[in-house]
Structure 1
């Protein structure tokens, strides 16, 4: 049986989106990895499956290319907000994720997503043992004293003089799988380029180097704000483009940026066994 999908991207971070609200589809780690494969599948950074929700407008499930299911994806949240904006008169879509319920608002300048409140406790990241998460007393080679923050999924942020000079393809997987992080970790290297401007590169847990990571931009902006390096509104430049991150008075992280459809298609369910 053929399953329709929509290929979407946010700043080059690309997704295969399956709307399974009317017709369920079984998604296993094996099937998710096969669909995400760029040589033999449809190809994507994440597979997104939309399902009915009892608590929101839609439930969004997120699968990495290795088949692992994760809690949050900022760029995918904007993509889903674009896809479902016409289903609500006010253009606001409540999206249930494993990391909590978020709200996407469609407007003339793109999509803004209220990503929820950041969490900073060592056991909320989580870390394997207690430590200060604002200046963690750990390091990997030249990457030292990161900030840890959970924005629906876990991140560490390193502020460095030149994030482009960091060998993130080598260090990223070492840090991601360190025993300090029992659920693994997303790794961000960031450079301040202005009073409220940051350049960022991200090694994404379960996916690797990515052109854009919405939750990484959120985590990095919050880390900079906590260290009083920036104000409460920051422009983050990733390899794929720009995101604006606000930390509002209600303790909500607001991420604003573009998302769009690349193409639509369908695959034969039998070609990708669950």
Structure 2
């Protein structure tokens, strides 16, 4: 091979290598941006021997009894609440404040329990804003974690969460199935709990009477005998055991006035 031809080949190879490096650097940079700006999605605990009891759709008429079961067992619950679903959040303000003061975790489940993947950016944003406003009025804090109704989310949902300053979207690793079993059939749910491993985040619904009346009182001692620590979601994820890190403190808990109303807000299942 002549010297000129060899030199040309070397230059060509070097150019290709530089091009590949540029493409790789650009790709890695893009990945870093997406990773650094994405809201994390959590579906299982990370702390050994931890277990998270989570409850959706409240508050409701069974909420006080449910909190009592947890408190007597020195167990913590994680509650993803709505503003207007099985009732108006302002009508349960005292119970929500009591739950908050007892150290349970409160997260957003949207205002009216909508299918978020069917909404526009503005509609999703409004769902979160309404629930945040209610929590600020009642508790003085804005939530930093959200669970999407039906477990449905997409990139738009994650973008809205990021732009509103949320720290995470919380899913689950086990579904108790309490919404799929005709009441009062608590036995299948209790049997399922016996098989759940450590580091489980389990989905329940506090609007189900047999969940509150039968399942939770039965499974708490089962889980504790297995050596599981019943923790809030941020605790079991190893994020923080300090409630101050679970929310943004905006003001002191408020006093009810005429603005504490669900009138004029979206009805259950509706964006508008």
TM bracket, shorter-chain basis: under 0.3
- Which structure has more relative contact order (CA 8 Å, sep 6+)? It is 2
TM-score (norm 2): 0.26
Structure (1 or 2) with the larger CA radius of gyration: 2
TM-score (norm 1): 0.26
Whichever structure has more strand as a proportion of its residues is 1
